[in-house]
Amino acid sequence: MAKRRRTLSGIKPTGQPHLGNYLGFLKPAMAMLASHEAFYFIADYHALTTVRVAEELREHTYDLVAVFAALGMDFEQHAFFRQSDIPQHVELAWVLSCVTPMGLLERAHAFKDAKAKNGEVNHGLFAYPVLMAADILIYDTHEVPVGRDQKQHLEITRDLAQRFNHLYGETLVVPEARIEDDVATIPGTDGRKMSKSYHNVLPLFSPEKELRKAVMRVVTDSKTVEAPKDPDTCNVFNIYRHFAPEADRKAWAERYRAGGMGYGEMKQATFEAINDEIGPYRERYFALRPDTEQLDRILASGAEKARQVAHGVMDRVRLKVGLGKPAGRGPKDG
């Protein structure tokens, strides 16, 4: 069999994963397992740019291992690991930093948004895209499944790989983003992008009751039951459509346009559609989450696989830039 292409992606352990993460990243990433060799990891170094409580970082890390296990990732075939277990990520990030123009980072949306919001921004946040580029390039990655909001980070990664190759000769694989166009950006309960930092999420694996409550909170316009409505601009429909078979989706869209349908009824249908899809995963998640020893074993075996690749690529980079001596030229060789 021909060697499979490598897919890599990461998620920060900064809170409970939500349905935006699931639709924009987790589900497409899981779908790629059948055809690709996957390296998926927990971006705990990245989380340090915002998380200040050690225990939270550790617990959210375990949450994510249990999420990937519950969704059915095969940890024998693929690597699942913690970023901070592989120090080559930060080593490559430094080398890339030295070919990264400040202006490139100053133009990054995430930095600009954080600066506009908080005034002061820590250096980790400013350098975030360089570490992310290192995460990807240290594994000779071909494809990176992410949500639309990560598009610019992937462009920066490609830019840095090309700059490096231009300066030092072909060394790094230039990766491609895999963004689900249909999913794009999932709205949260307030209509903005669903995000842990906006407190507007529909949780992926919370008890059923909490999921239902969150769905009932999704904002809608104040049209009466009788009034005809537009499904395409409705936050509830924009979540529903990702969980329903096409025939149901069409039928509900017609009911919107015809009038006589209330949002309460639609929310109930949305809750049921979500619950049908994720219910079985949720059950597995709650069964797996308490066994932290097993979760530790998963991380250890993933780190083992990741380390081998990261080591090889870092050696290649060190050789190109002149760090250390080329292999075979120890002290005795003069």
What residue ranges bind ligand ADP (CB under 6 A)?
11-12, 14, 20-21, 23-25, 146-147, 149-150, 183, 185-186, 193-197
Q: What is the three-class DSSP state of 155? A: helix
Residues 96 and 134: beta-carbon distance below 8 Å = yes
Site for ligand TRP in 45-64 (CB under 6 A): 46
Query: Using CB distances below 5 to 8 A depending on partner kind, what does residue 10 bind out of ligand TRP, ligand ADP, none?
Result: ligand TRP
Binding site partner of 195, from ligand ADP, ligand TRP, none, Cβ cut-off 5-8 A by kind: ligand ADP
Those residues whose C-beta lies under 8 Å from the C-beta of residue 192, and which sit 6 or more positions away, are 198, 200
Report the alpha-carbon distance of residue 284 to residue 130 in Å, rounded.
Answer: 36
Q: Which residues contact 286 (CB under 8 A, 6 or more apart)?
A: 205
> Residue 24 interacts with ligand TRP (CB under 6 A)?
no
Per partner kind, with CB cut-offs from 5 to 8 A, the member of ligand ADP, ligand TRP, none near residue 212 is none
- Report the alpha-carbon distance of residue 143 to residue 141 in Å, rounded: 6
Minimum gap (Å) between residue 11 Cβ and ligand TRP: 6
Which residue number is nearest to ligand TRP in terms of Cβ? 10
DSSP letter (8 states) at residue 4:
P
d(CA 116, CA 29): 32
- Cα–Cα distance for residue pair 167/145, rounded to 1 Å: 28
Q: Please identify which residue in 144, 214, 234, 236 interacts with ligand TRP, judged by CB under 6 A.
A: 144
Question: Which residue in 7, 150, 189, 238 binds ligand TRP (CB under 6 A)?
Answer: 150
Q: Which does 136 bind (CB under 5 to 8 A by kind): ligand ADP, ligand TRP, none?
A: ligand TRP
Pick 11 or 127: Cβ nearer ligand TRP: 11
132 binds ligand TRP per the rule CB under 6 A: yes
User: Which position's Cβ is nearest ligand ADP?
Assistant: 24
| Contact flag: residue 12 with ligand TRP (CB under 6 A) | yes
Closest by CA to 313, choosing from 153, 176, 172, is: 172
Kindly tell me which of 9 and 270 has the beta carbon lying closer to ligand TRP. 9
Question: In Å, how far are 52, 128, 153, 218, 282 from 118, measured between CA atoms?
Answer: 16, 16, 21, 27, 36
Q: Read off φ and ψ for residue 322, nearest 5 degrees.
A: 95, 25
Residue 249: Cβ within 10 Å count: 17
Q: Which of the residues 29 through 48 are near ligand TRP (CB under 6 A)?
A: 43, 46
Ramachandran area for residue 260 (φ above 0: left; ψ -120 to 50: alpha; else beta): left
* Shortest distance in whole angstroms from residue 168 CB to ligand TRP: 22
d(CA 206, CA 33): 25
Instruction: Give the interface segment with ligand TRP, choosing from 131-139, 163-171, 235-243, 279-287 (CB under 6 A).
Output: 131-139
Instruction: Tell me if 135 contacts ligand TRP by CB under 6 A.
Output: yes
Is residue 85 within the footprint of ligand TRP (CB under 6 A)? no
The bridge status of strand 79-82 relative to strand 176-178 is: unpaired
DSSP 8-state assignment for residue 25:
I
Picked from ligand TRP, ligand ADP, none, the partner binding residue 132 (CB below 5 to 8 A depending on kind) is ligand TRP
Judged by beta carbon, residue 9 or residue 100, the one nearer ligand TRP is 9
The C-alpha R_g of the chain, in whole angstroms, comes to 22
Residue 145 or 231: the one with the smaller Cβ distance to ligand TRP is: 145
Residues that bind ligand TRP (CB under 6 A): 8-12, 43, 46, 132, 135-136, 144, 146, 150, 153
